[in-house]
């Protein structure tokens, strides 16, 4: 373990180091410092969000400059007693984790060895001299979830039992497995899903065994199997948590519950369906941080981000977000709303379902059995003195008509619609029965998006593309372009990809585009005119991320094949 203490870095400033080494420019540092004053975030985080430096580059640079060794927490087994020398609240606050202790020397993994408050507090709490080692923030977070999980999980589960005065808890879980085995199995599954940043958990019964799969970056992976004897008790336990009827096995049911992992509250939306081998359970993971993505980190390039901000700061009109299911439309809408919800504004949403809750936003759950649809909910909301309205989806003529009326009567309306790209969206509106002049005057802009898988930064492989490929992509054929392809390593489960990011096209409706909509011009004509005005298609946005080394050409071609960029 290293013997240099954190005192050696006490007078070093990160920004000055990066500028001196030529990693960033002085103007980039000044822009980052200006942003930091507004956000209060650490400089390293701001630099990453602005795209000036990657986390991996920053970690490698700091380790080299400060002579601090790096550590791979995935390959390091840590004694839990040593981990808990640092209280969980402190470890999560500073994103640090104790990994080794020899006498009075405590080795501390951190993503920011220049955070002197973290080092000083750790030293004060443990009474040890701190020896820093460096790793990425995502590895720190993963280790925190792994080693502190049981403390956090035991703190409480917000369940049907708690909310309904134990009424669901009175029913015994059925099955051959003991309660302890069932509880441990469920905790293991939930913990692994959170560590791997899964979006969904599939618990399904086969002919001979129980199988658990999780969806990571849009792809399902099997994480474990179990004897079929545990199936009934696992499903019953989850039903109790979600306030569902454990005796009902023939009909689908929906519910939700929450667990606590340290200072994180994670909601799970639960759905059950009967299959020939027994009930299948799918849990959608709804973590609050997914609803609080900053505008800068959504994935817009600078020009499209400026367009996005202009649109959402308009006093009235309609903004539509288009794309297939699972393309991140809800995240984009939530990001827009989180910046608009202030004490001066009455913000109302109509959703199906309500995935995340927000302060200062009045959220309405669609409930057809009670007569609450998108259309009826929107009609009622107009009598609630709204400033900003978000409608989960415009599916039919009635909802579209009310949304248009709302936008033309002084309200800012945001919604989603299922179209392949931005230029084809006005045509979809007219197909629903909306008059072209109403669509043209009410719609401010249309954002179309897709999610692309990101290449694993630990193993992505560079290559020089053939000239014919570059010509086909309208890229310079002068040898300056290096592209990357997936390889596979332990960091990415051997698939070559890790994480996802959105690509966007943003179509602002100006007078020329408005005239085309009124004249019922085809989507291809709208796209042609928009491109002459600087409109960048989904395919263009994807290729830009390919050139940046973020994703592969194969992924971009796949996710944009149904868009008008073809």
pLDDT at residue 391, rounded to an integer: 96
Per-residue CA distances from 291 to 50, 254, 285, 337 (Å): 19, 21, 12, 10
| Residue with tokens 């640092």, as numbered in its chain | 86
CB 212 within 8 A of CB 228: no
Tokens representing 296 are 């800068």
Distance CA 283, CA 257 (A): 10
Of 189, 285, 287, 194, whose CA–CA distance to 237 is shortest?
Answer: 189
96-124 average pLDDT score: 91
Q: DSSP secondary-structure letter at 6?
A: G
Q: Kindly report the pTM of this predicted structure.
A: 0.70
Distance CA 508, CA 314 (A): 12
Which tens digit of pLDDT belongs to each residue from 80-108?
Answer: 889 989 988 889 888 999 999 999 999 99
Of 257, 228, 222, 231, whose CA–CA distance to 242 is shortest?
Answer: 257
User: What is the separation of C-alpha 482 from the centre of its chain, rounded to a whole number of angstroms?
Assistant: 28
Q: Please check the confidence at residue 128 and state whether its pLDDT lies above 50.
A: yes
Across 132-146, 297-311, 363-377, least confident range: 132-146
pLDDT at residue 220, rounded to an integer: 93
Of 121, 139, 119, whose CA–CA distance to 56 is shortest?
Answer: 139
Per-residue CA distances from 136 to 35, 57, 76, 292, 521 (Å): 22, 10, 14, 21, 50
pLDDT at residue 56, rounded to an integer: 83
pLDDT at residue 291, rounded to an integer: 57
Which tens digit of pLDDT belongs to each residue from 169-226?
Answer: 333 334 444 567 888 899 889 988 988 889 999 999 999 999 999 999 999 999 999 9
User: What is the separation of C-alpha 514 from the centre of its chain, rounded to a whole number of angstroms?
Assistant: 34
Residue 383: band (very low, low, confident or very high) from pLDDT cuts 50, 70, 90: very high
- How many C-beta atoms lie closer than 10 Å to residue 220's C-beta? 12
Distance CA 390, CA 403 (A): 10
Residue 149: band (very low, low, confident or very high) from pLDDT cuts 50, 70, 90: low
More confident position, 488 or 154 = 488
Of 24, 13, 205, whose CA–CA distance to 116 is shortest?
Answer: 13
Of 477, 395, 467, whose CA–CA distance to 433 is shortest?
Answer: 395
Distance CA 166, CA 240 (A): 10
248-268 average pLDDT score: 86
Pairing of strands 105-110, 157-158: unpaired
> What does pLDDT average to over the chain?
87
Distance CA 554, CA 479 (A): 21
465-469 average pLDDT score: 86
Which tens digit of pLDDT belongs to each residue from 287-310?
Answer: 766 556 788 889 999 999 999 999
Distance CA 256, CA 268 (A): 5
Computed over its alpha carbons, how large is the radius of gyration of the chain? 26
User: What is the separation of C-alpha 558 from the centre of its chain, rounded to a whole number of angstroms?
Assistant: 21
Instruction: Please name the fold of domain 292-451+502-540.
Output: Rossmann fold (3.40.50)
- What is the H or E stretch that residue 397 is in? helix 397-408
Using a pLDDT cut of 70, give the percent of the chain over it.
91
Backbone angles phi, psi at 21, to 5 degrees: -85, -5
Under CATH, to which class is 6-147 assigned?
A: alpha beta
Which tens digit of pLDDT belongs to each residue from 10-57?
Answer: 446 788 888 888 889 998 999 989 888 888 887 888 888 888 888 888
Angle at which helix 302-312 crosses helix 329-340, to 10 degrees, equals 60
CB 92 within 8 A of CB 100: no
261-269 average pLDDT score: 80
Of 186, 194, 165, whose CA–CA distance to 237 is shortest?
Answer: 186
pLDDT at residue 445, rounded to an integer: 98
169: helix, strand or coil: helix
Enter the CATH code of domain 157-286.
Answer: 3.30.450.90
Q: DSSP secondary-structure letter at 156?
A: -
Domain boundaries, the chain: 6-147, 157-286, 292-451+502-540
């Amino acid at each position: 373990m290293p013997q240099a203490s954190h005192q050696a870095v006490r007078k070093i400033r990160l920004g000055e180091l990066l500028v001196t080494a030529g990693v960033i420019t002085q103007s980039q540092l000044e822009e980052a410092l200006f942003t930091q004053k507004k956000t209060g975030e650490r400089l390293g985080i701001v630099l990453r969000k602005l795209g000036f430096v990657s986390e991996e580059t920053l970690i490698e640079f700091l380790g080299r400059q400060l002579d601090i060794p790096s550590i791979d927490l995935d390959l390091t087994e840590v004694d839990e007693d040593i981990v808990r020398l640092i209280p969980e609240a402190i470890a999560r606050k500073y994103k640090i984790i104790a990994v080794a202790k020899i006498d009075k020397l405590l080795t501390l993994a951190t993503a920011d060895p220049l955070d002197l408050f973290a080092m000083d507090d750790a030293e004060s709490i443990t009474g040890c001299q701190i020896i820093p080692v460096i790793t990425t923030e995502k590895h720190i977070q993963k280790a925190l979830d792994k080693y502190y999980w049981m403390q956090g999980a035991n703190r409480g589960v917000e369940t049907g039992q708690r909310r309904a005065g134990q009424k669901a808890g009175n029913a015994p879980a059925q099955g051959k497995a003991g309660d302890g085995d069932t509880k441990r199995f469920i905790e293991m599954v939930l913990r692994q899903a959170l560590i791997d940043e899964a979006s969904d958990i599939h618990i399904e019964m086969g002919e001979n065994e129980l199988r658990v799969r999780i969806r990571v970056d849009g792809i399902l992976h099997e994480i474990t199997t179990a004897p079929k004897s545990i199936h009934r008790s696992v499903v019953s336990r989850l039903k109790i948590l979600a306030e569902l009827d454990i005796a009902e096995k023939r009909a689908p049911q929906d519910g939700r519950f929450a667990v606590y992992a340290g200072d994180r509250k994670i909601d799970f939306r639960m759905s059950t369906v009967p299959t020939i081998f027994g009930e299948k359970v799918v849990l959608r993971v709804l973590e609050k941080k997914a609803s609080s993505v900053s505008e800068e980190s959504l994935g817009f390039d600078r020009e499209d981000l400026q367009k996005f901000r202009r649109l959402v700061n308009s006093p009235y009109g309609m903004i539509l977000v288009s794309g297939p299911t699972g393309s991140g439309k809800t995240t984009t809408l939530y990001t827009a709303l989180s910046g608009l919800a202030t004490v001066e504004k009455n913000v109302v949403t109509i959703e199906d379902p309500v995935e995340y809750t927000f302060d200062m936003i009045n959220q309405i759950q669609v409930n057809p059995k009670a007569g609450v649809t998108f259309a009826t909910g929107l009609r009622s909301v107009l009598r609630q003195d709204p400033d900003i309205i978000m409608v989960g989806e415009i599916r039919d003529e009635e909802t579209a008509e009310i949304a248009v009326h709302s936008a033309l009567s002084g309200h800012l309306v945001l919604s989603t619609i299922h179209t392949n790209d931005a230029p084809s969206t006005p045509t979809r509106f007219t197909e629903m029965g909306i008059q072209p002049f109403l669509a043209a005057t009410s719609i401010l802009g249309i954002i179309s998006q897709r999610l692309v898988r990101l290449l694993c930064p630990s193993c992505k492989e560079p290559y020089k593309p053939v000239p014919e490929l570059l010509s086909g992509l309208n890229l310079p054929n002068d040898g300056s372009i290096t592209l990357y392809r997936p390889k596979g390593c332990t960091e990415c489960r051997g698939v070559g990809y890790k994480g996802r990011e959105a690509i966007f096209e943003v179509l602002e409706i100006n007078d020329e585009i408005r005239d085309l909509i009124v004249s019922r011009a085809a989507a291809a004509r709208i796209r042609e005119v928009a491109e002459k005005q600087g409109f960048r298609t989904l395919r263009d946005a994807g290729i830009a991320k390919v050139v940046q080394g973020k994703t592969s050409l194969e992924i971009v071609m796949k996710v944009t094949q149904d868009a008008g960029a073809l």
